[in-house]
DNA sequence: TTAAACTGTATATATTAAATTTACAGTAGA
DNA sequence: TCTACTGTAAATTTAATATATACAGTTTAA
């Protein structure tokens, strides 16, 4: 699992909680504890997925472009980390004559794809607002 | 996600398919495409979880110690990779005064723990035999 | 009773992925 | 037209993953 998903979620929760729902990459990076360039890269993909809007130039930054009550972690996951559940390393070798060795990669691929669907159906139950509430209830 | 889970699953499927349900670390490593020391380490944890038995000395190796019809990927996951869903890198900083920054780690932790339970309930539907069938049906 | 073939495990090394840093072009507001 | 932003790429550093090596302990068989 890629940590882009965590950064993306954190950033959106932060924006949702901000008056005006806006912040620039430096402020977000400071809050998330990473560097502005990374934030910009991740926010850029969120923009391409319609979750935020971007404002360039002086006084610019990122503005929430979705309803936090309706937007779920599933959308954020899809935008930021689709396919990252499967480990990079794969077992077996398609060239081998052994049925197991040659076919395990394909089957494990299938299983991870199905797993990701299950994960998404779970993430789909959690909205940005839910996460924000949970955070505030900790206080 | 740790690839130990994939190696563990592959190895158990391989054993399940073998006459006598037995193989040594070198044979398994060759089939999985890794080195014998890694296989031994993973099989050693499977043994501690009762999924295989070990036979040391000449003619030794690993023997399946579970019913492949009843043993699920969930058990294998728990034995080999419990907790590996959560990324290593965590956002936010508990020391910060901002509610979001200081509490996101805890909440995301919770969310990943819950995610893992969902994943497990999916893995729990897939037995070693199921995986073996899927592999053979590819032929 | 000793040599051979295994496992168990630790440690060092190599490789790969992840994250940071730096840099700079493009854009918009003052 | 200067300044403060985003977008993006490339270089570097850091951390995680995987391999290789080594050797003690165990069992079997000659």
pLDDT in tens, B76-91: 999 999 999 999 999 9
CATH code (residue B95):
1.10.10.10
| B27 CA: nearest nucleotide by C1' | C6
Q: Using 50, 70 and 90 to split pLDDT, how confident is the model at B95?
A: very high
Domain count for chain B: 1
Render chain A in DSSP notation, one character per residue: --THHHHHHHHHHHHHHSTTSEE-HHHHHHHHTS-HHHHHHHHHHHHHTTSEEEE-STT-EEEE-S-TTT-BHHHHHHHHHTTTTS-S---S-TTSSSHHHHHHHHHHHHHHHHHHHHHHHHHTT-BHHHHHHHHHHH-
Range of the domain at A53: 4-138
Report the distance from CA of residue A46 to the C1' of nucleotide D22 in Å, as an integer. Answer: 50
pLDDT in tens, B97-133: 999 999 999 999 999 999 999 999 999 999 999 999 9
Q: Longest C-alpha distance within chain A, in Å?
A: 63
CB A85 within 8 A of CB B2: no
Query: Measured between beta carbons, which residues in chain A are less than 8 angstroms from residue B98?
Result: 31
pLDDT in tens, B25-39: 999 999 999 999 999
Question: What does the pLDDT read at residue A1?
Answer: 78
Query: Measured between beta carbons, which residues in chain A are less than 8 angstroms from residue B29?
Result: none
Within 7 Å: CB of A56 and strand D?
Answer: yes
pLDDT in tens, B59-68: 999 999 999 9
A100 CA to chain B: closest CA distance, Å? 6
Residue B139 has pLDDT above 80, yes or no: no
Within 7 Å: CB of B36 and strand C?
Answer: yes
For tokens 């930054």, what's the residue?
A61
Per-residue pLDDT of chain A (139 residues; tens, 9 = 90+): 789 999 999 999 999 999 999 999 999 999 999 999 999 999 999 999 999 999 999 999 999 999 999 999 999 999 999 999 999 999 999 999 999 999 999 999 999 999 999 999 999 999 999 999 999 999 7
């Amino acid at each position: 699992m890629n940590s882009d998903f965590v950064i993306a979620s954190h950033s959106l929760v932060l924006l949702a909680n901000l008056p005006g729902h806006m912040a620039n990459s430096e402020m977000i990076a400071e809050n998330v504890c990473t560097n502005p360039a990374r934030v910009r890269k991740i926010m850029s993909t969120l923009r391409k997925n319609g979750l935020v809007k971007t404002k360039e130039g002086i006084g610019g930054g990122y503005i929430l472009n979705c309803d936090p009550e309706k937007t779920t972690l599933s959308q954020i996951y899809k935008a930021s980390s689709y396919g990252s559940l499967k480990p990079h390393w794969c077992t077996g070798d398609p060239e081998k004559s052994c049925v197991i060795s040659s076919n395990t990669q394909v089957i494990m691929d299938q299983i991870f794809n199905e797993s990701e669907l299950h994960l998404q159906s779970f993430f789909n139950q959690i909205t940005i607002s839910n996460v924000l509430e949970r955070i505030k209830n900790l206080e």
